[in-house]
Structure 1
Amino acid sequence: MPYGSKVKPNYKEWGEQYTKKDLQEALLNVMKTAVENGYGEPLAWHGQGSSEKGLCWLPKIEIENDSESSKIHGSTSMEGGINITCGKKDLDFKLTENNSIEINASVYDIEVVKPSLARIDKGLLIESGVYMKDIEIEIENNGRKTITLLGTKDTLGELNNNHKLLIPNQQQWKSNKPFAILVERTSDGYHRLGLVELLIDSGEADSLFSKGNEMVKIGAVSQLESQAPKSVENIISPQYEAKIQVPPKNNSSW
């Protein structure tokens, strides 16, 4: 991490064990430090989010007990990521008292979820493989638009019409790849489902999407407004494989 020297570790006394809460607070500290130094790590990772209230925007902490050494080993659900930078001077980024985050973004309803789910990479960009699915969203002044999403199987496999596409303010959160966060609405904000990359070029993204000046909260503590219906049946479609050429793996800030 280029900002690693600025992360203040909280070491325990010799012989004391770290708890899941300790590891979660350490990860939260890393994320806060990243943003303070111009890195968009809170939005930049693929994988399953924490089940703790307000913390779905953080990777899930997975704890394993080593019975032989009586030690706790911690890892996260992070499967990969993209490079995102954020402007420190003009950035609207808030950490609430419930540890949710607030950012400027645009939110789009998903009108149609296409049934096919295709695997196009075996683990170079995302550990469990890159999957692809098409959706249709309604864009003001542009009508309905079909967009191809890239992400994990878990994220795209559960996608349905209750979900929304949250696109962060592109002036405040910059990446060499157009991206969005899949979310579901709650009564007090949005629940993160996963990071997705958009299979469109940056110029098209700039022309399609609004500036994203709405302040939205990711990591709401209330329950989802509706129970997600059964997922659309996922049919692996070989013809998708010819639609994209997967680029070489880039080094991410992770």
Structure 2
Amino acid sequence: MSIRRRLAAAVVTGAAALTLAGLGAGTAAAADPIATIPDLTGQSSSVRLDSGFTDALGQLQVTPGTIGDATLQDGSVRFPITGGNVTVYRPGDADPYVQGRIEHDGSGLSLTKGDTKVELTDFVIDPGNPATLSGKVSAGGQTLAESAVLFDLDGSTLQPIQTDAAAGTATLTGTTVRLSSGAADALNQAFGTDAIRGGLTIGVATIVVNLPGQMPAMPQGGVETGGGSTSGPDTALVLAGVAALVAAGGVGLVARRRAGAHRG
């Protein structure tokens, strides 16, 4: 069986699982959302690559590279944010209470060994339960899957949100990115090995997003850093909502604590 066929067989299960998850995810209650950002713009998602991941690639003689608008510098790979959307409900009114996506069209990551080159592109971050990053999978110049789950996102390691009122941005650092089991199987098939394991830590993500223009001005500092109070529980939940696009579980705890404090 050719490399392309083996890789296609390995990713088809992940693609099917993503489709089924999409059909069942994002079921909102009758309550109205507290905020909707229909067009999420800028700036970037980046991952500081873990030494365990880069060492594993080196041992397998697999070379990472960038595609399109992605950049790789000082051990971090960066993907520009090209679009997306977010709808935020009060925790308990919908499951998940943050629904949406962050899109990174026109960029990606390549993995090359000899004549075999696997391309992972057009990443989409989904804050569902569990949070995942999916993307297009290609090899040998042919598309094997338009959308397959590639990485699992662990928000339990997320640091407090940092906002910059002057720049109009929110920065989130600390989400751990891990290789999905389906992607590991596909890469093992492509490179003729069994050494790549699902759950392998790829690195730690930093996301910089533009805050929506209609949001009230925020003080310097993070939601939990004591850098100032927000103008109300809705503002705190909106900030948490943007954050939850990359780490739904970790930020949900922040939103619940702040909402409870305001109600009390």
Per the normalisation by structure 1, the TM-score is: 0.26
Which has a greater percent of helix? 2
